[in-house]
Chains A and B, each alone.
Chain A
Amino acid sequence: MDCFLSVVYCNGFRQWTTDNGQRSVDFITFLQLIISGLAMGAIYALVALGFVLIYNAVGIVNFAQGEFIMIPAFFGITALVTWYLPVPVAYSLVLAAMVVFGLVFELIAYYPLRNRPFLPVVISTIGASILLKNLAQNIWGAIPLRFPGLFETGTLNLGGLRIGLQHLLILGVTLILLILQYLLFEKTLLGKKMQATAQDKQTARLMGIPINKMIALTFIYSALLGGVAALLVAPILNVTKDMGGPIALKAFSSSIIGGFGSIPGAILGGLFVGVIEAIAGKYYSAYTDGVAFFVLIAVLLFRPQGIFGERIAEKA
């Protein structure tokens, strides 16, 4: 896969720094970094949202969130490469499979432990993570696989500013998804019931809200977010059983940086980490993966409630 599409696993952006005009090079370089950073940040944001929605709904941190990306990436390879299905069919199939996956995950890893304290449930998700990785290795093998992208080497050239089409796709789809999510949670009764379930389960039950259904739906939605993120990002990464770990860790950091539990915080935190990481990766490429954690520690030292966490802290 071409280097310019990847922020995480390639070093630098050689192509355009050499053949662009002189005067505007620095600004364009910077702009390009920002855009690719935002694209990777959008992926972190999607995964961070998955974390936060599950946390808000049931009060646990899902340590298998990374596998919510890895599994659909492999599903996608099976559908696109093994079965050779057309892209729309394959993508729809992956998302449909993630609906089932989210439900099964909830029924096995969460539901039986729903009345237990935090720790047993968290351990259960860690167990699920290990199980899923072993399963993936058994089914798809240990060799990294390539996920066929929609755009082989496509870039959009805007007066010297080159933007990878995959990056554009990531940003566009994420934006649409966030709008849909906003409409779901803020404009539909179902979304309100999911919010009510997250805010106060006992009272939600007294209102007649079927909270177990709402919780299952939250897991399903979280798995769907992973599915979308996987379809978007897998073409610019290697697909391996361990691919979810670093993304999930950075997404988790993003959600803490944004203020854990806050939905806007998860989105902005993800974008923030993506951009910082892209800029840092340009100048200190060896440390790209560590940047998110450095930022996390800095934020926790100076703003323990997270950058965007103020309003939530006030609410509590």
Chain B
Amino acid sequence: MLKVKDIETYYGSIQALKGISLEVNEGEVVTLLGSNGAGKSTTLKTISGLLRPVRGTIEFMGERIDHLKPEVIVQKGIAHVPEGRKIFPGLTVRDNLMLGASGRVKLSKAQIAEEAEQMLELFPALKPFADKLGWTLSGGQQQMLAIARGLMARPKLLLLDEPSLGLAPVLVQEVFHIIRDINTRGTTILLVEQNAFMALKVAHRGYVMETGKIVLHDLATNLLNNEQVKRAYLGTTKAARRQVVG
């Protein structure tokens, strides 16, 4: 479904991606792991068009998208839920949701409003806050909203950037539950996470990045038992793992 080949992306003269290749097949959850600054967010931004790769190609559903603008790429079926949620602070939860469908230009306002209501049913935690402004939400609510808003684009592929970051353990559990749920309903997911344990639990396959390169690529179950991954990302003690599981 998504084929990323040898992409190199720069911030000015600083090279952040040094030839990334990865694939996501229809129906999968694929996770992209790596420590802070490895280039995970840069990879997602390059896929969604916020950044343009200097070299390499990105194919989605058999079509080159690496030269397209983000507002066009979302119409092709890739929704990017950015790091830090990026809820519009001065707009209500309902408005944030409705704007998530901005790329679907054929829908009328009434249809979009209707879908926003349905989305609120799917995210009952958000429903009581439908008319509250974005900035008044808690971190967990903002994350739910960010994911729900991404789904309003009716994406074939959902890019999630660190959805569990900064959330209390209970909420982390809930976010991963939602991710699994979305996938079961038929949406393919590329998940960037620092919480490697939880990510590998929900993912089919995983890639590990270090300083702009992919250093490891395997089935999620294999990565969970990989010594290198265990040492670097899963923590060596049982205590660390217990903490994550809650």
Among A188, A195, A211, the residue within 8 A (CB) of B91 is A195
Complex contact A195–B88 (CB within 8 A)? yes
Chain A residues positioned under 8 Å from B49 (CB to CB) = 205
Contact size range, A:
10 to 19
**A231 to chain B: closest CB distance in Å?**
31
Q: B residues within 8 A CB of A204?
A: 88, 99, 102
- B150 CB to closest chain A CB (Å) equals 8
Bound Cα distance A240, B227 (Å) = 79
A179-214 at interface with B (beta carbon < 8 Å):
188-189, 192-193, 195-196, 199-200, 202-211
* Complex Cα gap A210–B70 (Å): 9
Whether A196 contacts B48 by the Cβ 8 Å rule is: no
B82 touches A203 (CB 8 A): yes
Given A192-B91, A200-B88, also A207-B82 (CB < 8 A): no
Decide: A206 near B80, CB < 8 A? Known: A196-B91, A199-B89, A315-B135. Answer: yes
B75 contacts the other chain (CB 8 A): yes
Task: Tell me the bound Cα distance from A163 to B102 in angstroms.
Answer: 48
Q: Is the CB of A205 within 8 A of B70?
A: yes
**A-chain residues with CB within 8 Å of residue B112 when the two chains form the complex:** 189
In the assembled complex, the Cα of A206 lies from the Cα of B84 at a distance in Å of 14
Cβ of B91: which chain A residues have Cβ within 8 Å of it?
A: 192, 195-196, 199
Interface centre among A202, A203, A206 (most CB of B within 10 A): A206
Query: Is A206 a contact of B90 with CB atoms below 8 Å?
Result: no
A-facing mask of B91-106, CB < 8 A → 1, else 0?
1000100111111100
> When the two chains form their complex, are residues B86 and A200 in contact, meaning their CB atoms are under 8 A apart?
yes
Bound-complex Cα distance A189 to B173 (A): 34
B86, A203: Cβ atoms closer than 8 Å: yes
| Residues on the B chain within 8 Å of A202, using CB | 50, 70, 82, 86
Is A208 in contact with B89, judged by CB distance below 8 angstroms?
Answer: no
Q: Is A195 a contact partner of B102 (Cβ separation < 8 A)?
A: no
Closest chain-B Cβ to A197's Cβ sits at a distance in Å of 10
A206 touches B74 (CB 8 A): yes
Whether the Cβ atoms of A207 and B135 lie closer than 8 Å is no
Tell me if B71 is interfacial: C-beta within 8 Å of chain A. Answer: yes
Residues of A near B90 (CB, < 8 A) are 195, 199, 315
Chain B, 120-152, CB within 8 A of any chain A CB: 135, 149
* Distance, CA A63 to CA B28, complexed state (A): 53
The interface centre, meaning the residue of A188, A204, A207 with most chain B CB atoms within 10 A of its CB, is: A207
- Residue of chain B at shortest CB distance from A202: B50
Contact A192-B98, Cβ < 8 Å, known A208-B71, A211-B71: yes
Quick check: B82 and A196 within 8 Å, CB to CB? no
Q: Which of B100-119 contact A (CB under 8 A)?
A: 100-104, 109, 112
Instruction: Pick the contact of A207: B50, B69, B100 (CB < 8 A).
Output: B100
Q: Considering the chains assembled together, what is the distance between the CA atoms of A202 and B71 in angstroms? A: 10
Residue with the greatest number of chain A CB neighbours at <10 A, chosen from B50, B70, B101:
B70
Alpha-carbon distance between A192 and B95 when the two chains are bound, in angstroms:
7
B89 adjacent to A209 (CB under 8 Å): no
C-alpha spacing A207/B152, complex, angstroms: 9
**B interface residues, Cβ below 8 angstroms from A:** 48-50, 69-71, 74-75, 79-80, 82, 86, 88-91, 95, 98-104, 109, 112, 135, 149, 153
**Other A-B pairs, 13, CB within 8 Å; known A193-B99, A199-B88, A203-B88:** A188-B109, A189-B109, A192-B91, A202-B86, A203-B86, A204-B88, A206-B79, A206-B82, A207-B74, A207-B100, A207-B102, A208-B71, A209-B71
8 cross-chain pairs, A with B, having the tightest CB-CB distances, nearest first = A208-B103, A203-B86, A208-B102, A205-B70, A208-B74, A207-B102, A209-B102, A199-B88
13 sample A-B contacts, Cβ–Cβ < 8 Å, listed by A number: A189-B98, A193-B99, A195-B88, A196-B88, A196-B99, A200-B88, A204-B88, A204-B99, A205-B71, A206-B70, A206-B79, A206-B80, A208-B74
